[in-house]
Structure formats: structure tokens, C-alpha cells
Structure 1
Amino acid sequence: MRTMKLGSSNLEVPVVAVGCMRINSLEPVEAETFVQTALEQGANFFDHADIYGGGKCEEIFADAIHMNDDIREKIILQSKCGIRPGMFDFSKNHILDSVDQILKRLRTEYLDVLLLHRPDTLVEPEEVAEAFDILEQSGKVRHFGVSNQNPMQIQLLQKFVKQPLVANQLQLSITNTTMMDSGMNVNMENEAAVNRDGSILDFCRLNDITIQPWSPFQYGFFEGVFLGSDKFPELNAKIDEIAEKYNVSSTTIAIAWLLRHPAGMQPVVGTMNLERLKDCCRAADVTLSRPEWYEIYRAAGNVLP
């Protein structure tokens, strides 16, 4: 699979990341087949979080891939921490303890990337900086990033954290494009002009932070997938038309649409279906034209000013 640098780091990663949030829905033999299929596609970047399955997903993954030193050298592991029942927690002790537990479940000595999962309004960035220093110096985490954060939140952390924040995982799909909409509706009096995230798309591009779109097939907040949905007939017709032109599936086109953006995004795909996983990976070889990108954007109901 085609690769890219993650943010400002020298870490070479595939352009499609494999999300493991639903791996606990698979039987052990299915989970093993799933991770092996991903590796065969060149998708060796696996995204986790300590809350997925209450931590069980990381354990299942480690079993499925038969984790050992040889395997570990061939894969890239990312996990997230900071969400606790009823609260968010970026305290030094919680971050350090979370990473220790993640490493234990994944049966590895280090994470390639650690993301802070959801913004903690009680964050003390000095504590985050201390935790990151300890994790880096101990070799437990090699790169750091955030998830679901706006520019000011990132700048606040970066004021104290010396490690570059290389990734920001954000909800983005063809039907969830608010971070793009406001930038195309500057000075307009319409809903699309509302800047809801502090121009996070441009901020990440300016600061060499890789955007990792999560839920790339969802509309709304986990309301359902837009592919094949009767709520989006025009969009599906357009995607199917372009998919036929490239002789690929609609799934491939939905991911290729994200990859076409010059921000250099790394979509996190969460499917556990082997054929859909392969279709997602095929997007790395499809480059949509500018007219095709905009045709899909407008078919989703977006109106250009």
C-alpha cells in the first residue's frame, strides 16, 4: 500500500489505518483472519483505544496477531487514552497508568503512537508534558497526538509539551464535512459558513498534523452509514457512477474521496468485513479528479456559494 509520513515525524505509515474498535465482535479464528488480511493488504497500522471493549479489543488483537518480537517489528500500533466512565482525564497518573495497561494488553513494550482521546476541560498541560516526557524517555511511546481537539486546545498542549503532536483523529466523512464547509463559505450568511472547530483543517495542514478521519462511512454521530442508504439517493448514485468508471466498489470511492484531499489524511476504517477491508485498501490506488471530488461533495447536499 502507498505510504506517507505521519505528521512531522519520520514514521512511515500506510495511508489507510485499520480501526480495531469492533474486533471483539469476531470469533478468535475470524479475528486472526482479519488481521492477517489487513497485513496482506499492506495495512499494518492498527488503531486502538483503552475503552474499546473495556480493553478487551486490545487483548483480542494481541491474540489474533500472535504477538511476538518478530511480529511487533512489522506493525505500527496506535492507542488512545483519556476517557473514563462519566469523565475525561488527562492527569499525569491516569495517562501513565493507562499506557502501562495498554502495553500489557497488547503484549508489547511500546506504542508507536499515543493519542489523547477526548478533550479534558480540567487538563493541566504541565502534567501532560510530564507524562509524555516519562513515556518517551522510558521508550514506552515513540510519538504523540490528540483526538477530537480544536486548534486552541492543541496550542495549549503544545505550549508545554515538547514532543510534536503528529496526529489529530477527527470525525470526517462525505456527509460530515463541517471542517471543510466553513472554509468554502467565508463571509457568507448561511449555515455552512459557521466555523464550528476553529478552522481545524487548515490548522493541521499549517502545523504538519495528520488528520485521521474516524467513522468515514457514517452520517451524523453514529446514525448509520450513507453508502446504500435511502436517505442519500443522489450521493449514492454519484458514488456508484464514479465507482463503475474506476472499476472499484462504492466503499473504495468513499475512502478515495478522503485521500484525494491535499491535507494528506489517513482514514481509520473500522469494518470487520474482509471484502470491505480490501475495498478500503484499494482506495490507496485511486486518485479522483478535482471535478469528481466536487461532484461527490455536492451530491451529499452541499451547495457551493
Structure 2
Amino acid sequence: MTGPTGRTLPEVPGAGDNGRVVYGCMGLGGGWDETPYTAADIDHAQAAVEAALECGITTFDHADIYRFGKSEAVFGEVLSRAPGLRERIVLQTKCGIRLPQGDRPGRYDLRADTILRRVEESLTRLRTDVIDTLLLHRPDPLAAPEEIAKALHALHGQGLVRRFGVSNMSAAQIAHLQARLDVPLTVDQLEMSLARRDWVEAGVLVNTSAAAQCGFPAGTLEHCTDHDIELQAWGALARGRYTGDEPSPAGEVLQRLARRHDTTPETVLLWWIQRHPARVVPVVGTSRPDRIRACRDAVVREPGLGDEEWYELWIAARGAPLP
């Protein structure tokens, strides 16, 4: 693939090798409105994709609602500029959320006909014949699991989707849906970071008064690990909270650990997630090529944090001792 800079990008592994880090495409496509995307938006997306590929990232995460569909559309434009790239990456997208429109509020929608229609629309925008992994974006309280299963079986049977997963769902919700499916759920994508720590806190607050304030669904990490469901962490860079100009105790520890391990603070943030035995895969959502490249060591190196360093960073972010 040759980008606007004229550089030839390295070959990347074939589809199916998700690797250590996923690139989240929510920042691509222009504004959060229905204004058409521009040529500059396509170039911006291509620069981000190039940076991710240079780092060895080969899985690209989308959703039908990102930038009102423009994130998928500009990515499709990038694929059209790079013959052969589609066969060397993993395309993941989501459906299940309807954005507000006029007087109609935003809502969730996992009816079978909606799932089928949204997948067809994503395929068109992405300019591909198949989605490698489709995630159900949010639980829909009104959707019968049998109806969801009917849609997923149809998509799989037609060869339109290879694998399925969920996002923002608990172990109980996954098991409830899986019991009605003939295909395995392979991914659960949840907000997990050093700032959003309840996925770790839930495991140590058992039998404490603070447990009631921890909203992470108990047993979800264990369920996913036991059933070979890949945990993906969206918001993994904590929206720049610890790597920006705002000083904080955790940010200071982060900088010190980055210097010690000859890497970047962004990499240390991702290592902190990857170091967990649940083998969580971070989703990097920045659209800035320099920040994407700052995550490279999280792709090409083993998580470098020792136990003491991991706990030191956690406690600094907590701002209080462990219970």
C-alpha cells in the first residue's frame, strides 16, 4: 500500500490474526453529523490506517453509527485506494444502536430485520463482501434472543459475516444469547482502562462496602476467559487523561515507567491492560498518526511491566490504598 506520502507500507499478517492491539476507527470520517465527508477526511483516514499498519496492527474496529456511517465510508475509500489490503486485515464492525433523528430519541435496536439491514449497509460503505467479526453494540431489552439468533444464523449462512461477538455485555447476557446460537460468540468489547478500572476493582472489592459502587458485572472476565471469548478494551488510552499536560500522580508514575522501559507512556498504558491474565486486547481510538505510532511497542513487545510496577500504577490511579 502506498499512501499520500509515497511510502510503501510493510506486509501485514493475514485476516484472522487479531494481534495484541486493535485500531478503533471511530475518529475517522469528519464530524458527528450528516455532512458529507471530504477528500481531506479520506486522506486523514488513510494516514491513520498507514500508521496502524506500520505498527503491525491488522484489526480495524468500526460501528455503523460512527460519524453517522462516515467512518465506515472513508475506510471503504481507503480500501479502494489499496488493492489487496482487504485480504490482509481483519474488519470488525457493530450494529444495534440507532442515533437520535428529529424528535425521535436514540435507542437500541437488535430486531432481526434491523440487524440484516444494518449489515448490508455496512458492507456497502466498507466496500467489502464480508465482515470478519460483527459485534452487537449494546443490549436491546426488547429484542428476543431467538430473533437475534435468527439474524446471525442467516448472516453466517449467507457468508456475509464470519464471526460474531458482543459489546458492553455481561457474562449472563452472553451465556443467555449463546444458548440459542449455533455459532460461537468470540468477542466481548468493554470499556477498560487505567481510568475505567472497575473491571479490575470488581475482583478485589468483594466483601467490602465499596463493592456496591462498582458497576462492572461480576464474573464477566472469568466467563470470557473460560469460553475463549476475546476481551477487547475500548477507551484503552483513557482519552489522554494520563498522557496530556494535566499533572497527576498516575501520570508521573507513567512517565517514570516509560523512561525505565525505554518506551512511550501510551505503550505503558496499554501494557497495564495487556498484563492482566485475561489477555485483554486494547482498542486504540486516536486518529493522530503520532499517537498511534506511540503505541507500537504494545504490538511488537511483550508487556514489560513487573508485578510491583503494575500495582504501583494501579494504586496511583486509584488515589487510595487497596482494601
Q: 2:312 aligns with which of 295, 302, 305?
A: 295
Q: Distance in 1 between matches of 2:18 and 2:150?
A: 27
Pairwise CA distance, 1:138: 0.8
1:90 aligns with 110
Q: 1:218 aligns with which of 234, 238, 258?
A: 238
Q: Distance in 1 between matches of 2:287 and 2:214?
A: 35
Q: Distance in 2 between matches of 1:67 and 1:118?
A: 32
Contact 2:29–2:73 (Cα < 8 Å) also in 1? no
Structure 2 residue runs of 5 or longer lacking an equivalent are 1-9, 31-39, 100-105
1:153 aligns with 173
**1:94-113 → structure 2 map (5 Å cutoff):** 94-113=114-133
Change (3 A) 1:110 1:68: farther
1:24 aligns with 29
Matched, 1:244 2:259: yes
Contact 1:82–1:118 (Cα < 8 Å) also in 2? yes
Q: Distance in 2 between matches of 1:124 and 1:69?
A: 41
Change (3 A) 1:194 1:37: closer
Cα deviation digits, residues 38-61 of structure 1 (max 9, x gap): 222211110000000111111101
Contact 1:185–1:193 (Cα < 8 Å) also in 2? no
Pairwise CA distance, 1:260: 1.0
* Length-normalised TM-score, structure 1: 0.90
**How many residues are matched?**
294
Q: Distance in 1 between matches of 2:175 and 2:63?
A: 23
Q: Distance in 2 between matches of 1:48 and 1:196?
A: 24
Q: Distance in 1 between matches of 2:242 and 2:283?
A: 16
Structure 1 residue runs of 5 or longer lacking an equivalent are 5-9
Matched, 1:123 2:140: no
Pairwise CA distance, 1:195: 5.7
Kindly provide the amino acid, as one letter, of the partner of residue 289 in structure 1. G
Q: Distance in 1 between matches of 2:68 and 2:201?
A: 35
Q: Distance in 2 between matches of 1:31 and 1:11?
A: 23
Q: Secondary structure at the match of 2:93?
A: strand
Q: CA RMSD in A?
A: 2.2
Kindly provide the amino acid, as one letter, of the partner of residue 131 in structure 2. L
* Length-normalised TM-score, structure 2: 0.85
Matched, 1:227 2:246: no
Q: Secondary structure at the match of 1:304?
A: coil
Cα deviation digits, residues 241-260 of structure 1 (max 9, x gap): 10000111111111111111
Pairwise CA distance, 1:31: 2.0
